[in-house]
Amino acid sequence: MKTALAAALAALLASILWTPLVVVFFRRHGFGQEIRNDGPPTHLVKRGTPTMGGVAIIGSTVFGYVVAHVVALAQNGEGPTASGLLALLLMVGLGVVGFLDDFIKIRKQRSLGLRARAKIGGQLVVGVTFGILALQFRNSRGDTPASTHLSYARDIGVFGLTSIGFVILSYVIVTATSNAVNLTDGLDGLAAGAAAMIFGGYALIAFLQARHLCTVAAHPAGCYEVRDARDLAILAAAAMSACFGFLWWNAAPAQIFMGDTGSMALGGLMAGFAILTRTELLLVVLGGLYAVVTLSGLIQAGWFKYTRRRTGTGRRAFKMSPIHHHFEMSGWAETTIIVRFWIVAGIAVAFGVGLFYAAFVSG
């Protein structure tokens, strides 16, 4: 518990103090956001706002995690675990993909960065590498960081996968989650605030798992076959605080955007927590806001294609997708949308944690 608090405090302070330095550096080098011409007109005033602020979130999360382990080493000699390092691998790896995307946008002065194939390729490399490594590094009990079973609050015994099937599933979860967070990052502070809540939820889940682990000597009812749960709780606490610290500067009107650097990194880390804590299906509930935003985009594209095929003229289900832009085009103030979407995100996280606890109580 003390190490988790150390991670949270260190990441929070680092994020609050480092982010304005990143703002100054990016302004000096002209790393400003390009805005889509077909987007909400109110967004045009945001052109030139420093982007790629995700580097501050990633750096602060890593810093908090390192500080926590310095404290842990001093107390009991415990160092980083395979699970914690694998989750960071996802975060940093997808952060690099997002950074390249942002950098191309800035260099070429356009709102689109990496081509779709290149971005998918980057996600494929990172996701598959994570999936393969997550089935390695057995501990003294023979446990690997991840399980080849599909999971909800625990592994679902009847849904076992082969190693190849698990790697494919990992890629799908990593890609879907990173894209979902990327879609949601369209309003000042929206994605960062929602991500902080989700990481807070995962900190609680991993902490509860760490207190009720199955051991070699005993397998009490309701115990968890999760490798390195305590370390995942530490990392989740660091990520939560890093997002809160960044939000201080990212709240409307934003002084910096996280960019694809941040949104893809945060989505990757969420996917990592879902896989490593064996709560893959529960992620859909915890990340309910991201699921709704992604679904709105799919509905928009699907309805447009369907009506164009049936009538010759494509029609839109929403004024603009993702759905937060629909509300902007309907006249809602940006801050109103952000706060209400945060409420939705908070309800989803609370419901998800509640479902996890209900499963824990029922054994």
In what helix (H) or strand (E) does residue 205 lie, and over which residues does it extend? helix 190-211
**Mean pLDDT on 31-38:** 62
The pLDDT of residue 35: 59
pLDDT digits (tens, 9 = 90+) for 138-183: 887 888 999 999 999 888 888 888 999 999 999 999 999 999 999 9
Token pair listed for 178: 């990173």
In what helix (H) or strand (E) does residue 156 lie, and over which residues does it extend? strand 155-160
Euclidean distance between CA atoms 278 and 281, whole angstroms: 9
Euclidean distance between CA atoms 94 and 98, whole angstroms: 6
CA torsion 214-167-271-104 (nearest 10°) is: 150
The pLDDT of residue 357: 92
The pLDDT of residue 44: 53
Angle in degrees, CA 327, 53, 275, rounded to 5:
80
* Under 8 Å between Cβ of 247 and 191: no
* Nearest C-alpha neighbor of 55 from the set 295, 218, 259: 259
The pLDDT of residue 74: 80
Residue 244 one-letter amino acid: F
* Under 8 Å between Cβ of 301 and 314: no
Helix (H, G, I), strand (E, B) or coil at 280: coil
pLDDT digits (tens, 9 = 90+) for 67-95: 999 988 888 767 899 999 999 999 999 99
**Mean pLDDT on 294-308:** 91
Q: Within a 13 Å sphere around the CA of 325, how many CA atoms are in the beta-carbon half? A: 22
Q: Within a 13 Å sphere around the CA of 303, how many CA atoms are in the beta-carbon half? A: 13
Q: What is the chain's percent helix, strand, coil content, to nearest 5?
A: 70, 5, 30
Residues with Cβ within 8 Å of residue 282, at least 6 apart in sequence: 151, 152, 153, 274, 352, 355, 356
The pLDDT of residue 249: 94
Pick 273 or 254 by higher pLDDT.
273
**Mean pLDDT on 36-59:** 74
Its pTM stands at 0.93
Residue 181 one-letter amino acid: V
The pLDDT of residue 100: 93
pLDDT digits (tens, 9 = 90+) for 318-342: 888 889 889 988 889 999 999 999 9
* Under 8 Å between Cβ of 147 and 225: yes
pLDDT digits (tens, 9 = 90+) for 103-117: 888 887 766 778 888
Pick 133 or 214 by higher pLDDT.
133
pLDDT over 90 at 122, yes or no: yes
Q: What mean pLDDT value characterizes the chain?
A: 90
The pLDDT of residue 242: 97
The pLDDT of residue 82: 95
Packing angle of the helix pair 82-108, 259-276 (nearest 10 deg): 160
Residues with Cβ within 8 Å of residue 184, at least 6 apart in sequence: 190, 191, 194, 263, 289, 290, 293, 322, 324
Provide φ and ψ at 252, rounded to 5°: -65, 135
* Under 8 Å between Cβ of 359 and 152: yes
